[in-house]
Amino acid sequence: MEVILEKEQIQEIRQILSEIIREELQETLSNNSLDNIFLNKKETCNYLKISNNTLDEWILKGLPVIRIGKIVRFKINDINNWMSEFENTA
């Protein structure tokens, strides 16, 4: 069985496929965004190029932290947002 499509139908199919691919790509990228990356204290110190003591001071000054029992984690997106608050004040 052979199917013959008009040019308009082919264009419409391309447009639909393009939209589906774009939506899937956006969803994949948003799922892999910085908001889903968590660092421990050592990784956070390395990321910010600071000492553990400085990190502890910054936590006291309001750096967002996630605590679950003794486990401490930082979202990269939260770190970047917190740091950007100080960009224009320096």
Local confidence band at 34 (pLDDT 50, 70, 90 cut-offs): low
pLDDT single digits (tens) 56-79 = 999 999 999 999 999 999 999 899
How many Å is the maximal CA-CA distance in the chain? 73
What's this model's pTM, rounded to 2 decimal places?
0.61
Copy the structure tokens of residue 57: 């001071």
Which of 1-5, 29-33, 39-43 reaches the highest mean pLDDT? 39-43
Local confidence band at 39 (pLDDT 50, 70, 90 cut-offs): very high
